[in-house]
Amino acid sequence: MRIQVNVNGESREADVEPRLLLVHFIRDVLGLTGTHWGCDTSNCGACTVHLDGEPVKSCTVLAVRANGHEVITIEGVSQGADLSLLQQGFREEHGLQCGFCTPGMIMTATALLERTPRPSEDEIREAISGNLCRCTGYQYIIRSIEWAAKHGAPTQVEVMP
Amino acid sequence: MAVETRQGHTFGDRMPRKEDGRFIRGRGHYVDDIQLPGMLHSAILRSPFAHARINGIDVSAALDHPKVRAVITGKDLEEQGLAWMPTIAGDTQAVLATDKVRFQGQEVAFVVADDRYSAQDALELIEVDYEPLPVIVETPRALDPDAPVIRDDKAEQTNNIIFEWEHGDREATERAFEQADVTVKQEMIYPRVHPAPMETCGAVADYDVGTEKMTLWVTSQAPHAHRTLAAIVTGLPEQQIRIISPDIGGGFGNKVPIYPGYVCVAVASLVLGRPVKWMESRAENLMSTSFARDYHMVGEIAANKDGNILGVRVDVLSDHGAFNAHAQPGDIWPMGFFAIFPSCYDAPAAYAEATGVYSNKAPGGIAYRCSFRVTEAIYLMERTMDVLADELGMDPVELRRKNLIPAEKQPYESVMGWTYDGGDYHAALDEALRIADYQALLEEQKEAREQGRIMGIGVSTFTEIVGAGPKKKCHIAGLEMFDSAELRIHPTGKAVLKIGVQSQGQGHETTFAQIVAGELGIPAEDVDVHHGDTDHTPYGLGTYGSRSTPVGGAAAAVVSRKIREKAKKIAAHLLEAAEGDLEWVDGGFQVKGSPGQRKEMGEIAFAAYTNTPPDEEAGLEGVAYYDPPEMTYPFGAYICVVEIDKGTGQVDVKRFIAVDDCGVRINPMIVEGQIHGGLAQGIGTALMEVIEFDEEGNHLNSNFMDYLIPTSMEVPKEWETGETVTPSTHHPLGARGVAESPTVGSPAAVVNAVVDALSPYGVRHVDMPLKPAKIWQILRENRVEPF
């Protein structure tokens, strides 16, 4: 069936099978490979994107469900050389190693900071508890999110110093 | 020509990672991100049985599927001599089953289709006639005289024994046990666990019929070794094979072996002349790619009444699954480096014997964030030490302090034949005790017990053995375990370093640049590090067993120093001075006693291409293949504090203190990150992770709903890390490698803490994982009030 989805501010249309998962629509149809696939069962969160502003695990959302809606992926949180504060925070505080969970982590954290600009450590831990990371032991991810919270609004885009 | 001065980051700095720029933008390039024109997709049909004879496979309905391009079975591969492949342990493994399936999830058929959904659909159209056979799930069952022989494909195999191994001095150890005041013996299982990197395994094969070149993008921790093995197995000329290991989403040992999917995808591309992608699902990853551990161990220590160790004795039954795909540095090491088990203790006698067996489980076992079985050895030793402390009524810290190898005995010759590369173990323990405030913790525990809370303190001190290896001792399928670095300095003083090791998240692009920066005075920002592409990097054995820094890092230092030697000749030419009159100071050469007469590295580099001395070749390039004289021995002292919920049995890790000595730190931030991650994995092993089977060999937890790995909620609020720095006695940079210490040292610290918490109830040992149900059972048996 034909769907139209607003992805990162652009209208994208495609003919898709009704069973196509949103993560495969984003990755294979649109070629936006920053959204990763890691588990099939919505446990790992590597595929987290925003659907109408809410973080969702795109491996358990059908692409047709996004028809007529707005999707933001990791590619949509920064423009060119500019990075979001969360992206900067992850770099400053060593919030990543292999980088595979990072886009999903940043999408979840972006949604958290939009709702709660100054989250407590416990709130951060709870917010990212559906995003698995096998590399970092989480402490520096939490510091990365705190860095962004300390430096301003999450949607604010700043040029790297 | 502008003068280059040292700006930016160098060796030893907490430099933000160079690779992060692409990852935080979602612009990493992992195997599954590869899209090629005309690329086909694939899926693997896997056995639903743990052990069954295959009486027939009918693929006709699958072939009739309009989007299916090919279906490959073991029979098809057999015709090409590819139905079986060698493992790195010298065994054979079925690529696609021909005669029998030997574990649930074993590869039976390979479907290639236009898209990944169609390939999956077609799997259901394949009919396989299976005849179920009796299974071996419980490891000791493999040794029963009436046990089914799993590897009846091997004529010489009349039972399930893979190897019988012994090491150490049996008689001396027996004498020690006879003369001892105290002996303890503890059985324990190090359960079967999975590395479970966030990215599963996969490959894209692209055979170009025009150039006859095979390009394989593979989730590989060892691309060069994979290329050579691919050439040997397939018969393709090695120069016509290019292996690219792009960004890898975590390895932890999972991506060292060659998996059947890699072979199938290459065969499919050869047959079809089109690129083919294979990417396993999470269930496939947990069911079929390499597990780790599954060691059934008995540890014994003999001591005098003061707690001085007289001897250590170990008996191991190791379960390798259906095919022995053990990660080991050569055929003389069927137990890897397990013989490190006397560890950081001054044990006068030690002896180990072990038997490796087949079972109807997935093949392995690989070294999960582990230098070839060090993890099992240290867990065994640290658990048994606590049992000895309990027997002696001695504080576990005091017992350890008494037996740690004194610093003055370094470099220490162990009874097991290792030569340690320096270390002050007492200093590391003291630092951990200081951070923990151990005396205060003991007081707190006393109070907690008075209040009816269940609190425990666990200690673990250890040495690792990493950085394989000296090439005379260690090899992978005959390939000696050196490693390499090739350095090119461009005319403008910028550099490209190509390395034989490969990153799966360790940050090589940053740390290796920092090594060059430290040696040559070029800012790390100006050193581009290339890795993972066999067409564009020098030969290397890959990244596992914490060998990147000890071996590859040393190669980077050595090649930098070679370049510096040539730079000196050029500088002498430019300064019209004798080489002997020059000295290297802060990134440049200057005339001794005359710092004004000086040439920076940038100027020297420019001259290497514009104004070379008459007797020198142009250019400023070099290559080094480094053979370490010995392995390196990072060590540490860990303390874990837990509290147990009396109602649920849930173990809460309140604090974790980790003091590591990995020698000189190239980038302290990256080192800390590695330690944090390894500690989380160790806590996962201790408290949550185990691959479970039912009595028919059905895999019971092949997803992240049932195979639990730590989330942000299961780890302590802060990893309390500390350091001591004892430079390695032989590494050119004094570095040792670090990434595996935390997974090696932490499980014992956690289990020791939990056992300590439960010790008032007479508990001396509990096998991992310490899931709430297991602890709950102990609490209820001891009639602990739940509230």
Strand order in the sheet with B495-499: B527-530, B495-499, B483-489, B621-626
Please, which pLDDT band fits residue A157 given cuts at 50, 70 and 90? very low
- Within 8 A of B679 by CB-CB distance, chain A residues are 137
Our CA-based measurement puts residue A16 at a distance from the nearest CA of chain B, in whole angstroms, of: 12
Could you tell me which residues are beta bridge partners of residue B27? Answer: none
On the question of pLDDT at B5 being above 70, the answer is no
Residue B150 · residue B308 · CB < 8 Å: no
Contact across the interface for A46 and B198, Cβ inside 8 Å: yes
- Answer whether B199 sits within 8 Å of A100, measured CB to CB: yes
For B:562-601, CB contacts with A below 8 A are none
pLDDT tens string B252-289: 999 999 999 999 999 999 999 999 999 999 999 999 99
- Cβ neighbours of A45 in B, within 8 Å: none
| Predicted local confidence at residue B477, as pLDDT | 86
What's the pLDDT score for residue B332?
87
pLDDT at B482 over 80: yes
Beta bridge partner(s), residue B355: B164, B317
Determine the residue of chain B that is closest to A74 in CA distance.
Answer: B26
Please report where in the chains the tokens 């095979």 appear, as a residue: B214
Structural tokens at position B49: 């049985």
For chain A, domains (ranges, CATH) are 2-76 (3.10.20.30), 83-158 (1.10.150.120)
Which of B198, B504, B704 faces A101 most closely, judged by CB atoms?
B198
Chain B interface, best mutation among A59, A107, A139, by max B CB count within 10 A: A139
B15 touches chain A (CB under 8 A): no
- The whole-number average pLDDT for the span B692-702 is 98
In whole numbers, what is the pLDDT of chain B averaged over residues? 96
Of A19, A102, A125, nearest to B24 by CB-CB distance is A102
Alpha-carbon distance B752 to B711, whole Å? 22
Interface-testing mutation among A17, A22, A100, with chain B (most B C-beta atoms within 10 A): A100
Domains detected in chain B: 20-27+483-626 (3.30.365.10), 31-133+214-276 (3.90.1170.50), 419-465+633-787 (3.30.365.10)
Query: What mean pLDDT is predicted for residues B38-46?
Result: 98
DSSP helix/strand/coil, B117:
helix
Q: What is the pLDDT of residue B117?
A: 98
Q: Contacts of residue A99 in chain B, CB cutoff 8 Å? A: 19-20, 22-24, 28, 247, 249, 505
Q: How confident is the model at residue B556 (pLDDT cuts 50, 70, 90)?
A: very high
Whether the CB-CB separation of B534 and B227 falls below 8 Å is answered with yes
**What digits encode the pLDDT tens for the residues A57-111?**
999 999 999 999 999 999 999 877 789 999 999 999 999 999 999 999 999 999 9
B248 touches chain A (CB under 8 A): yes
Q: Of the listed B201, B264, B344, B370, which one is catalytic?
A: B370
Residue B208 main-chain phi, psi, to 5 deg: -95, 110
* Beta strand ranges found along B650-757 (DSSP E): 651-661, 719-723
* Under 8 Å between Cβ of B472 and B481: no
Q: State the smallest CA–CA distance between residue A68 and chain B in angstroms.
A: 24
Contact: A132, B16; criterion CB under 8 Å: no
Contacts of B506 in chain A (CB under 8 A): 97
- Contact assignment for B16 to A94 by CB distance below 8 Å: yes
Residue B411, preceding peptide bond in cis (omega within 30° of 0): yes
Kindly report, residue by residue over B653-665, the tens digit of the pLDDT: 999 999 999 999 9
Torsion of CA B742, B744, B748, B753, to 10 degrees: 0
Asked if A125's CB is within 8 angstroms of B25's CB, the reply is no
What's the CA gap between B299 and A152, in Å, rounded? 56
Instruction: Tell me what pLDDT residue A159 has.
Output: 44
Can you tell me which residue has the tokens 């001599």?
B81
Average pLDDT of span B550-578 = 97
Write the residue in B22, B117, B673 that is nearest to A94 by C-beta.
B673
* pLDDT score at B52: 98
Note whether B677 contacts A135, CB cutoff 8 Å.
yes
Would the pLDDT of B677 be above 60?
yes
What does the pLDDT look like over B332-365, one tens digit per residue? Answer: 899 999 999 999 999 999 999 999 999 999 998 9
Helix B425-436 and helix B438-450, axial crossing angle in degrees, nearest 10:
50
- Is pTM, for the whole model, over 0.95? yes
Position B83 scores a pLDDT of 97
Total count of residues recorded for chain B: 787
Do B26 and A73 count as a contact with CB atoms less than 8 A apart?
A: yes
Encode pLDDT of B726-764 as tens digits.
999 999 999 999 999 999 999 999 999 999 999 999 999
Q: Is B786 helix (H, G, I), strand (E, B) or coil?
A: coil
Type of residue found at B569? K
- Nearest beta carbon to residue A91 from set B24, B252, B711: B24
Active site residue B370: yes
**B221 counts as catalytic:** yes
**Would residue B590 show up in a list of annotated catalytic residues for this protein?**
no
In this model, does residue B3 exceed pLDDT 60?
no
Question: Helix/strand/coil (H, E, C) string of B17-52?
Answer: CCCHHHHCCCCCCEHHHCCCCCCEEEEEEECCCCCE
Confidence of residue B494 (pLDDT cuts 50, 70, 90): very high
B676 and A140 within 8 Å at the Cβ level: the answer is: yes
Return all residues near B276 (Cβ < 8 A) that are at least 6 apart. B39, B40, B41, B42, B112, B204, B205, B206, B265, B268, B269
Residues in chain A within 8 Å Cβ distance of B672: 94, 140
- Residue A156 is predicted with a pLDDT of 47
pLDDT at B331: 85
Question: What percentage of chain B exceeds 90 in pLDDT?
Answer: 97
Q: Is the pLDDT of residue A160 over 70?
A: no
Chain B residue closest in CA terms to A28: B35
Question: Is there a contact between A35 and A49 (Cβ–Cβ < 8 Å)?
Answer: yes
pLDDT range class, residue B6, cuts 50, 70, 90: low
* Phi, then psi, of B456 in degrees rounded to 5: -135, 150
d(CA B333, CA B773): 37
Of B93-97, B744-748, B781-785, which range is least confident? B781-785
